[in-house]
């Protein structure tokens, strides 16, 4: 019920600003670049799918990742060739000649990787460790999402003449600080609300980024090409979100399996065969291996063995989350580095066309 009310409020706010979206006549070539579209889909899809297959322990991981990387490289070559030949291309590689656009779209991608990493690792942790259901996990993450939403609204309205590059830099700084504070709290968290303060800090940082990055990226683009640039920007953000979700989730579950197996085989209580058995079971069901679930699998085992396995499971899961949180931390630090580069450039002039674009 609470989520439905929040979503309804967000939808109402979005619809109230629909008149701010302005159409700009397009006079360019309307041909379709089929090859470019295929290379784009195979490239981004191959990278994300490769990570998901690795997470599930499937085969052909290297082949999928290689296919994705080669396709993305081929896409870059194909776009330059089409541009040189004067033929319609999926997107104009000339967009990337603008340093503002390159810094903006890369920062957009880093922001989305960080967001995706947080939004996959934390719910898995809350459901595995605290045994929350989906609603409870969502409410525990409310400080992150709500602070991001309200800060984005506030900063968008009150930024005024403040430097957008400095606001972006501050956003990445807050995001990184929130993750840094969160990492040592994780092993001591006995409730989702224990993490509220760092999530609020990270959410404020994300809100500052959301309020500025879109306009910063699109402001140097001519009105006729701003829709194309916005599409590229949106695609970069979507890819970053997918990558963050897949990679952080895979890292967390892989780390959990490795840490658990190491602790099990190092235990003085468990025999080698018992350690192998529980490690194999964890690899198959890592994402749902709560202590309650694990306890049900240990019915009939000696009491000291049962307690040792529960102890190892309890100790290993916070370590896995801490490792997974390094993904959003690294992304936010890379974004912060971009933020410092942005502040060395003159601030771009605000673009009315860019301000009217809604990010997908």
Mean pLDDT value of segment 55-84? 85
- Measured between alpha carbons, how far is 71 from 224 in angstroms, rounded to an integer? 29
Check residues 342 and 5 and name the one with the higher pLDDT. 342
Q: What is the pLDDT of residue 286?
A: 56
Asked whether residue 360 carries a pLDDT value surpassing 50, the answer given is no
Which of the 8 DSSP states describes residue 219?
Answer: T
DSSP H helical ranges for 56-163: 61-85, 99-128, 134-140, 142-158
Highest mean pLDDT, choosing among 63-72, 133-142, 333-342: 333-342
Average pLDDT, the chain: 82
Q: What is the pLDDT of residue 136?
A: 87
Six-digit token pair at 90?
């999926």
Q: What is the pLDDT of residue 352?
A: 54
- Measured between alpha carbons, how far is 287 from 124 in angstroms, rounded to an integer? 7
* Pick from 125, 152, 158, 154: nearest CA to 210: 152
Where does the pLDDT of residue 25 fall: very low under 50, low under 70, confident under 90, or very high at 90 and above?
low
141 near 127, Cβ under 8 Å? no
Inter-CA distances, 64 with 13, 35, 56, 67, 223, Å: 41, 19, 14, 5, 38
Q: What is the pLDDT of residue 282?
A: 64
Q: What is the pLDDT of residue 183?
A: 94
Query: pLDDT per residue over 150-192, tens digit each?
Result: 999 888 777 667 888 999 999 999 999 999 999 999 888 888 8
Where does the pLDDT of residue 358 fall: very low under 50, low under 70, confident under 90, or very high at 90 and above?
very low
246 near 52, Cβ under 8 Å? yes
Token look-up 């009315």 returns 352
Report the b/e string of 285-304 with b at 16+ CB within 10 A: ebeebbbeebeeebeeeeee
- Measured between alpha carbons, how far is 333 from 328 in angstroms, rounded to an integer? 9
- Measured between alpha carbons, how far is 181 from 197 in angstroms, rounded to an integer? 9
- Measured between alpha carbons, how far is 76 from 287 in angstroms, rounded to an integer? 37
Where does the pLDDT of residue 6 fall: very low under 50, low under 70, confident under 90, or very high at 90 and above?
very low
Rounded to two decimals, the pTM is 0.81
- Measured between alpha carbons, how far is 98 from 222 in angstroms, rounded to an integer? 11
Inter-CA distances, 277 with 85, 182, 213, 261, 270, Å: 61, 33, 49, 10, 10
**Lowest-confidence range among 15-19, 96-100, 199-203, 323-327?**
15-19
Q: What is the pLDDT of residue 83?
A: 82
- Measured between alpha carbons, how far is 272 from 175 in angstroms, rounded to an integer? 43
Query: pLDDT per residue over 210-235, tens digit each?
Result: 989 888 888 888 777 787 788 888 88
CA angle at residue 80 from 78 to 86, to 5 degrees? 100
Angle between helices 226-266 and 326-343 (to 10 degrees): 140
Query: pLDDT per residue over 264-289, tens digit each?
Result: 888 887 777 777 776 776 666 555 56
């Amino acid at each position: 019920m609470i989520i439905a009310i929040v979503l309804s409020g967000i939808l109402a706010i979005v619809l109230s600003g629909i008149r701010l979206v302005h159409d700009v006549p397009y006079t360019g070539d309307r041909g379709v670049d089929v090859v470019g579209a295929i290379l784009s889909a195979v490239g981004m899809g191959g990278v994300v799918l490769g990570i998901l297959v690795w997470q599930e322990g499937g085969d052909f991981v290297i082949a999928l990742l290689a296919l994705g990387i080669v396709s993305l490289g081929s896409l870059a070559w194909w776009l330059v060739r089409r541009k040189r030949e004067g033929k319609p291309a999926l997107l104009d590689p000339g967009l990337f000649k603008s340093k503002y656009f390159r810094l903006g779209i890369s920062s957009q991608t880093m922001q989305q990787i960080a967001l995706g990493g947080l939004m996959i690792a934390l719910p898995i942790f809350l459901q595995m460790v605290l045994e929350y259901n989906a609603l409870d996990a969502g409410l525990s993450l409310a400080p992150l999402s709500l602070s991001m939403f309200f800060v984005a609204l506030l900063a968008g309205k009150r930024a005024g003449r403040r430097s957008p590059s400095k606001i972006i830099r501050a956003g990445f700084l807050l995001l990184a600080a929130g993750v840094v504070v969160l990492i040592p709290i994780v092993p001591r968290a006995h409730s989702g609300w224990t993490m509220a303060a760092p999530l609020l800090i990270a959410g404020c940082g994300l809100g500052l980024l959301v309020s500025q990055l879109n306009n910063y990226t699109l402001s140097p683009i001519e009105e006729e090409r701003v829709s194309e640039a916005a599409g590229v920007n949106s695609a970069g953000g979507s890819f970053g979100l997918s990558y963050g979700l897949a990679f952080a989730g895979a890292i967390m579950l892989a780390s959990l399996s490795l840490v658990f197996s190491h602790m099990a085989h190092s235990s003085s209580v468990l025999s080698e065969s018992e350690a192998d058995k529980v490690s194999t079971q964890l690899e198959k069901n890592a994402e749902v291996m709560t202590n309650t679930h694990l306890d049900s699998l240990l019915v009939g085992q000696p009491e000291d063995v049962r307690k040792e396995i529960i102890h190892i499971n309890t100790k290993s899961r916070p370590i896995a989350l801490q490792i997974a949180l390094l993904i959003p931390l690294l992304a936010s630090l890379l974004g912060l580095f971009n933020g410092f580069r942005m502040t060395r450039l003159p601030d771009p002039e605000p673009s009315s066309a860019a301000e009217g674009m809604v990010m997908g």
